[in-house]
Chain A
Amino acid sequence: MTPDLSTDLGFLKLRNPILAASGTFGYGLEFTQFMSLAAVGGIVVKGLYYGPREGNPPPRLVETAGGLINAIGLQGVGVEAFAADVLPKLRAAEATVIANVCGADDDEYVRVIEFLDRQEGLAAYELNISCPNVRRNGLCPALRPETTRDLVARCKAASRRPIIAKLSPNVTDIAEIAAAAEAGGADAVSLINTLLSLAIDARTRRPRLANVLGGLSGPAVKPIALRMVYQAAAAVRIPVIGLGGITSGEDAAEFLIAGARAVEVGTANFVDPTATVRIARELSEFCAREGIARSADLVGTLGKGGHGTLAR
């Protein structure tokens, strides 16, 4: 029996619950030489501002124990070049494409959405209200419930497509922020974005990143991400999309169990460009091994603490 991985987010049906995370999958086209983009649930393309952006000066990356700190600063081509040069190719590749929407201020988010609303071939918008690398000291709208709710509400009102609010882990109470996104009209929340971090070269006493601060991702952040997905899923009725440090099918299963309906794979794409399809296959193998007919049956099934017996 082949397990059924089909995933229903309500506003969007996916072949499987594995999506590629924004900023770690380029515009998707970088990966067509390794895999079919139609083989995964969907791809979230790199963050889009209205115009092209320079990004931060290098060094932009530091490797840490089981993780990666980045301060790319959302270098990108902007919506017009994306629509003209990238989107037609993604449509041809039959990928389910979610645009990651950015803005220097609330107006820019709306302008990006209004422009993209006129393009075909997008399934939803993921609002990147949580990038720590573009404003000073990692500030972003997702740090406060009011700014989260207001920005989501403005974007929702402007959009003909579903809105996924991408949340920041750099907050005291993720449940409160997730609830604010839901109150603003979000169709789903995704979390986590990267954790605000600092790497230091002790010898020179300088920060290792030109930007000083950066965002931590990769296997090192997985336990924190799982905790936040669990808390957010308990706080909202809309679907939760979980991510942070996923590198295997079993990792993906853990996020589903914590309450995520779908997951995104980020940093793992850099190490293994076929990570998304491999993880989908491994999730299927995991379900088959455990006698689970549908991966959706895993969602939100976390039992009590302790060892041994299965929480069913």
Chain B
Amino acid sequence: MRQEPAARIALRQSWDDYVLLRLEAPDVAAEARPGQFLMVRVGETLDPLLRRPISLHAREGGSLEIFFQVAGRGTALLAEKEEGETLDILGPLGRGFDLEADFHGRRAVLVGGGRGIAPLFYLGRELRAKGADVKVLYGGRSLRDLPVRDKFAADGLDIACATDDGSFGRPGFVTGLLEAEIARRAPDALFVCGPDPMMRAAAGIAAAGRIPAQISLESLMGCGFGACWGCVKRIVRGDGGRWRKICEDGPVFPAGEILWEGAE
């Protein structure tokens, strides 16, 4: 992990409130793995104070892409950055997805909801390179919440979409798409990133089908590298559950280790 105070923005694309930035950061890119994230400074002044966590969306040689949705003040400032400007980033952070297993010939299903699609492009490519048979399920409220759907297809990744309002793909939640996919052909591994209710539902589906699932959690982060203890969630590791740091121990966890908030 390292600090890159001036990663140049080589490319910027935007769709409504979604933005993609390509950052020239060869040293950070050299260490990067899917599921890891960056802590990004969104401005030069002391307000907003904290960096924002953003996943690695793609690695293109010495460049890294991030893809984010404007969710508040910080991401709104980030969305104003233009090509040629620089960003102060810290990374790569976190453990990322566990890709140690032999994925050759294995069926991997990647489930992304909204901005949660971000890490799944990098992951999908990496799994394909490991010989996996990759299927991506992408859900959003409406067609306009699926801005990178064509990017997956253009890269040769098999993708199916769902929208809550039925404006594109299968009507309903992406978890419905997942259930249909499992009924068609059981996957060997699931990878999930999205809003908490979606991830929780997907974890339930994975458990019912006895499919190993890896889930990328979000949390409010003060530092991103283990120094503040601000990002914790309940994680069970044969110990009844303890507050563990999402930034350091995660953000990706096996579904079985996560104790969902409000769950009994």
Contacts and interface: CB of A to CB of B under 8 A. Distances in A.
B232 to A, nearest CB: 6
Contact of B90 (A23, A54, A273): A273
Given A72-B229, A271-B41, A273-B225, A54 B242 contact: yes
A271 B229 CA distance: 14
Contact of B232 (A31, A55, A65, A70): A55
Contacts of B220: 58-62
Nearest to B246: A58
Given A61-B220, A273-B90, A25 B49 contact: no
Interface in A216-259: 218-219, 247
Contacts of B90: 273
Given A33-B1, A269-B227, A63 B233 contact: no
Contacts of B51: 270-271
Contacts of B229: 46, 55, 60, 72, 75
B11 to A, nearest CB: 26
Contact of B230 (A57, A72, A272): A72
Interface string A15-55: 00000000111100011011000000000001000000011
Contact of A267 (B49, B233, B242): B49
A218 B46 CA distance: 9
Contacts of A267: 49
Contact of B47 (A62, A66, A270, A273): A66
Given A271-B41, A273-B225, A61 B49 contact: no
Contacts of B50: 63, 68, 270-271
A63 B49 contact: yes
B26 interface: no
A61 B227 contact: no
Contacts of A59: 220
A70 B220 CA distance: 11
Interface string B216-240: 0001111101111111110000000
Contacts of B242: 54
B3 interface: yes
A31 B233 CA distance: 23
B228 A270 contact: yes
Contacts of A54: 242-243
Interface residues of A, number: 35
A274 interface: yes
Nearest to B74: A63
Contact of A70 (B2, B226, B230): B230
Contacts of B225: 30, 273
A78 interface: no
B48 interface: yes
Nearest to A34: B3
Given A33-B1, A54-B243, A273-B3, A68 B227 contact: no
Contacts, number: 86
Interface string A62-103: 110111101010010000000000000000000000000000
A66 B73 CA distance: 13
Interface in B20-59: 41, 46-51
A178 to B, nearest CB: 28
The B contact surface, by secondary structure, is: loop
B227 A31 contact: yes
Contacts of A66: 46-47, 49
A138 to B, nearest CB: 18
B228 A70 contact: yes
Contacts of A31: 227
B253 to A, nearest CB: 15
Given A63-B50, A72-B229, A270 B223 contact: yes
Contact of A60 (B1, B46, B232): B232
A54 B90 CA distance: 28
B230 A60 contact: yes
A24 B227 CA distance: 6
Contacts of B41: 271
A30 B46 contact: no
Contacts of B231: 58, 61
Contacts of A68: 49-50, 222
Contact of B46 (A24, A62, A247): A247
A62 B219 CA distance: 12
A151 B230 CA distance: 29
Nearest to B242: A54
A70 B49 contact: no
A89 B221 CA distance: 26
Contacts of B223: 269-270, 273
Given A25-B227, A30-B227, A273-B90, A58 B232 contact: yes
Given A26-B226, A63-B48, 4 more contacts: A66-B49, A75-B229, A269-B223, A271-B41
17 contacts: A24-B228, A26-B227, A30-B225, A31-B227, A55-B229, A58-B220, A58-B230, A61-B228, A63-B49, A66-B49, A70-B230, A75-B243, A218-B49, A270-B223, A271-B50, A273-B225, A274-B3
Interface of A: 23-26, 30-31, 33-34, 46, 54-55, 57-63, 65-68, 70, 72, 75, 218-219, 247, 267, 269-274
What are the 6 tightest A-B residue pairs by CB atom distance, in nearest-first order?
A270-B223, A61-B230, A26-B227, A66-B47, A219-B46, A30-B226
